Chains A and B, each alone.
Chain A
Amino acid sequence: MRIRTAGVVAAMGLALAGAGCGSDSPSAEPSASAGAGGSLMIWADDKRTAALKPLVAKFGQELGVTIEVQAVSEELMPKFVTASQAGNPPDIMIGAHDWIGNLVQNGTIDPIQLTEAQRGAFAEIAIRGVTFNGQVQGVPYAVENLALFRNTELAPKAPGTLEELVATGKQIKQSGKATEILSMPVGQTGDAYHMYPLYTSGGGYLFGTKPDGGYDPKDVGVGNPASIAAFEKIRKLGEKGDGALKRSIGHENALSLFTGKKAPFMISGPWSIGDVKKAGISYEIEPIPGFAGGQPAQPFVGVQAFYVASKGKNKAIAQEFVANYVTKPELAKVLYDAEPRPPALTAAFDQVKGTDPDVVKIMDAGKGGAIMPAIPEMANVWDPFGKASAAIVGGAVVPSTVTAAGKSIKDKIK
């Protein structure tokens, strides 16, 4: 008995020791090596992966390389940066343009030299979005921005101003047809992205612009008198005022309030169109109205783009694919079918336009929009700005809150 136990213990010990050995060599994962005809690895999120797979196989055949698309459902950007640092990144990554600042400061992507003709095929704002340090850092395929969704059954008339929107909403609420005026995610910690159109309409800005059109991290607009005035207007819409903005509405319930017909208006982007359609409500998409007598409400315009990893194993082929295939309308169309965001390629947009009027309306709502800052300094803005806006919606005193947020942003930028 004793001997057998000893044997089992020894075997188990050895197996465990084996595991221990493995962990001593953390870089033991097999390195991706290029096949005979070359291979490309693309990282994207789930939705895009599913859409890309069949198409990419076709392009791969044309190009004579094997293209693999791998879904990275969460934390795509940090994972890409970490993989780059370890020397094992995919060749191409697909993601939002406001990641560019961080991608560049970590030296993980290479600029792409598009020809004049290729550049000209894209919407101007899309190219502006992916331009950082004067270089095009990725090839855009879609643009997106916020718009106002209106339930036409509850609110048949488009509001010209935010004040009109609130008045209509209040009427509908009083008549008992809905319980909310507006569905816009604020949450306990705030949402700078959704708040931005109201903030700009009130006269505020985040960063000033440099002569070359880029954002100037030295000129922070949060905390200046205009930003305080803007937040005073936002406070009036909040819990201590009209009750159009509430911290109890966050990302988890904003969409369901609108699709459940509990709110006649919603501020959201093209990603919500699918669900709104499915809910079977009659809806209209319009530009977000501004405050009466104020500035126009500018939504952020975001760009989705393909990036070439600077430490990728097959950079030449990756550049070839991104510059010559992503610039084809076919690919943009397939990505559009997976999720209806307006294509960045003018030709693809024109194709889609005829069949999907919503996409045109979203694009129209983003006409006056501001390109979302891609500078690394923007990372310092989201959190303080969002939380200050949540506090103000909850009824906090405006000047001190905004001044403190501005100070905290400036302290971190230095």
Chain B
Amino acid sequence: MAEKTATLPEDRAGREVSQETPRPPRSVGLGGQIGKTTALAVTIALAVWAAFPLIERRLWVGLAIEVGVVAVVCYVYLSPRRVPMKYLLPGTLLLIAFQVVPVLYTVGTAVTNFGDGHRGSKDEAIIAIQTSSVSRVPGSTEYALSVATRGVPASDPLLFLLVDPAGAAFVGDSAGLRPLSGATVAGGRITAAEGYNLLGIGQSAARGAEITAFTVPTDRGAIRAQGISGAYEGQAGQLYDAGCDCVREAATGRQWRADDAEGAFVNEAGERLVQGWRVNVGLANFTRVVTDPTIAGPFAGILVWNLAFAAASALGTFALGLLCALALHSPRLRGRRIYQVLLILPYAMPSFAMLLIWRDIFNTDFGLLNRMLDLNVDWFGGTWSARVAVILVQLWLGYPYMFLVATGALQAIPKEVGEAAEMDGAGPWQRFRRVTLPLLLVALSPLLISSFAFNFNNFTAVYLTTEGAPFPADNSSAGGTDLLITYMFRLAFDAQGAQYGFAAAISVVIFTIVAIISAVTFRRTRAQEEVYS
């Protein structure tokens, strides 16, 4: 802001210069130059700041993209030419970053089994299996540990100085465990030893990863550190064998073979190890939507209700909002401002909180609605009453917005048009039906479509009120008020932990449905606009 005011006089000077010269367009004022340079500098500074973590993690592709983007930005803005690109570039970059990349990422995820139990790579799964199978050898000794080196604590090879419960001291390294003489043992731990330098806590912390990985081989396994002051003799119960590409259990000889189609280690009985990895599953997630009877069965019914819900919400709020707008449009009405403010109030309240309050209002035994009207309706217990309730809530939450835009659009319609119709002998209804409404629709139909698309995926409206209930007694995954989005959310996240791959596939399906509906409606509105304009 300060910069902007400072540039004003300079700009004026710049304009004067441009007025003197006959060909003005390309000379940029000093203020513009400063602004441009600052913005470019900030961009480059941000890019450099973001580059370090990328280099640190060796994400070369990300780095290449970043460098490329900065290069394009500099190329476009450092030259006085390429004016159209100057306007197009920011929008294009944002479009790519926030629309194209997420869509591609979603589609990419949809063909994998990415989700809980299948998050990382196969190597990570193997590491996880092996580390989690290391357990204490039964009946083995528990040692008190002091980590030491023979030389410089910060860099020389590590050694474990151990004391067993009987007080005997040992030194352990990769060659094994040997008795240690000349050690001072205090409080059950070695506090000093000849020829060894003990690591302090800070030094241990700095070399923590090495300490965790350090093992002293023994007959039955290896001595490993537990923290930095204790050690135990442990044994890996399950080991990966690259030869057979399988995990073998040492004690029983059982084997789990790697199944690269499933991303899991599976034994002959079909049992899996819990730690799996991420693999490409092709179109399996999409075919599951069609073939799985628990999904394919209720899908059509939910889609119909979803369309009805979105249409009812969009049209209902529009009708109610328009009604209020028309009523308040009359200049004869007193106290219009107060009414308008009152009508906008629901819009000003956070819908999150309002949805929860409405849920309580519809409660059978304790809800405000049943008590006030002395009813005994089990609102969320019956399919149709729950649906009515959900739409009523949406109506209440949504009509102020429609009221606002309809008021604006009504004011934009010239009075003359109405007066001309009146002169021609049209009644109030005819004037509204034949003149006002068509003119309104030209302005508002894109809003209606966007409202429809929004309500089609209105997750919170259902999830915070009914959670999809009521559920039929024999199917807990598809409820009476479930929209596709809540239904799919439950399938993908509630039951078996998060299944991102499947969720992504469903998002693609829903996206396709909404895109088709929107495209068709937009085409139809365009035709309508042509008729009226």
Report the Cα distance A315→B224, complex, angstroms.
Answer: 13
A85 within 8 A of B: yes
B467:A107 contact, CB within 8 angstroms: no
Closest residue of chain A to B210 (Cβ to Cβ) is: A316
Docked pose: A196 CA to B477 CA in angstroms? 21
**Nearest-Cβ distance from residue A235 to partner chain B, whole angstroms:** 11
The interface residues of chain A, by DSSP majority, are classed as: helix
Indicate if A55 sits at the interface (CB-CB under 8 A).
no
Q: B54–A314 contact, CB under 8 A?
A: no
The contact of A316 among B135, B211, B494, by CB within 8 Å, is: B211
| A25 adjacent to chain B (CB < 8 Å) | yes
A28-B54, A391-B471 known; A248-B39 Cβ under 8 A: no
Query: Which of the candidate stretches B84-92, B252-260, B425-433, B444-452 sits at the interface with the other chain?
Result: B84-92
Check if B117 sits within 8 Å of A106, measured CB to CB.
yes
A316-B87 Cα distance, complex, nearest whole Å: 54
> Contact at B234–A17, with CB atoms within 8 Å?
no
Q: How many A-B residue pairs have CB under 8 A?
A: 325
Per-position 1/0 for B446-477, Cβ under 8 A of A: 00000000000000000000111111111111
Q: Contact: B94 with A188, CB < 8 Å? A: no
Within 8 A of A (CB), among B461-499: 466-477, 490, 494-498
Q: Tell me whether B234 and A27 are in contact (CB under 8 A).
A: no
Chain B positions within 8 Å of A20 at CB level: 69, 90, 93-94, 96-97
> Contact: B135 with A135, CB < 8 Å?
yes
| Interface: A379 (CB within 8 A) | yes
CA distance A248 to B376 in the complex (A): 12
Kindly specify which of A1-9, A142-150, A270-278 makes contact with the partner chain.
Answer: A1-9
Q: Which of B43, B59, B475 contacts A408 (CB 8 A)?
A: B475
* B467 contacts A189, C-beta separation under 8 Å: yes
Residues of B within 8 A of A400 (CB): 473-474
Docked complex Cα distance between A8 and B204 (Å): 55
Contacting residues, chain A, for B274 (C-beta < 8 A):
101, 104-105, 133, 376
| B208 pairs with A316, CB closer than 8 A | yes
**Distance of A78 Cα from B492 Cα, bound (Å):** 14
In the complex with contacts A16-B90, A16-B94, A401-B473, A111-B135 CB distance below 8 A: yes
Give the docked Cα–Cα distance between A9 and B96 (Å).
20
Residues A315 and B42 in contact, CB atoms below 8 Å apart: no
Q: Check B127–A107 contact: CB distance below 8 A.
A: yes
A21 proximity list for chain B (CB < 8 A) = 43, 46-47, 50, 66, 69-70, 73, 93
The interface centre, meaning the residue of B39, B135, B475 with most chain A CB atoms within 10 A of its CB, is B39
Contacts A7-B35, A13-B87, A248-B364 given; indicate if A320 touches B70 (C-beta within 8 A): no
Main secondary structure of the interface of B (DSSP, over half): helix
Q: How large is the interface on B (under 10, 10 to 19, 20 to 34, 35 or more residues)?
A: 35 or more
In the complex, which of the residues B39, B380, B497 contacts A14, with contact meaning CB atoms closer than 8 Å?
Answer: B39
**Least distance between A395 CB and chain B CB atoms (Å):** 9
| Stretch from A32-40, A295-303, A345-353 at the B interface | A32-40
Q: Which residue of A lies closest to B29 (CB)?
A: A3
B15 CB contacts on chain A under 8 angstroms: 1, 3-4
Flag B83-124 by CB within 8 Å of A: 1 or 0 each.
000110110011011100000000000000000110110001
- Which segment of B225-233, B302-310, B343-351, B506-514 sits at the interface? B225-233
Stretch at the interface among A43-51, A112-120, A167-175, A334-342: A112-120
Chain A interface size range: 35 or more
Q: Is the CB of A320 within 8 A of B471?
A: no
In the complex, how many angstroms separate the beta carbon of B519 from the nearest chain A beta carbon? Answer: 27
When chains A and B are docked, how far (Å) is the Cα of A248 from the Cα of B369? 13
From A14, A34, A253, A379, contact of B77 by CB (8 A): A14
Is the C-beta of A279 less than 8 angstroms from some C-beta in chain B?
Answer: no
Report, nearest first, the 10 A-B pairs whose CB atoms are least far apart: A38-B205, A7-B32, A107-B128, A320-B227, A14-B39, A404-B474, A188-B469, A316-B208, A64-B201, A20-B93
* A interface with B by C-beta (< 8 Å): 1-4, 6-25, 27-31, 34, 36-39, 63-65, 78, 81, 85, 101-102, 104-107, 110-113, 115-116, 133-135, 188-189, 246-249, 252-253, 310, 313-317, 319-324, 376, 379-380, 382-384, 386-388, 390-392, 394, 396-397, 400-401, 404-405, 408, 411-412
Known: A316-B205, A391-B471. 17 other contacts (CB 8 A): A2-B25, A3-B24, A4-B15, A7-B29, A10-B36, A21-B69, A25-B66, A38-B208, A64-B205, A104-B275, A107-B124, A188-B380, A319-B228, A323-B227, A392-B473, A396-B473, A404-B475
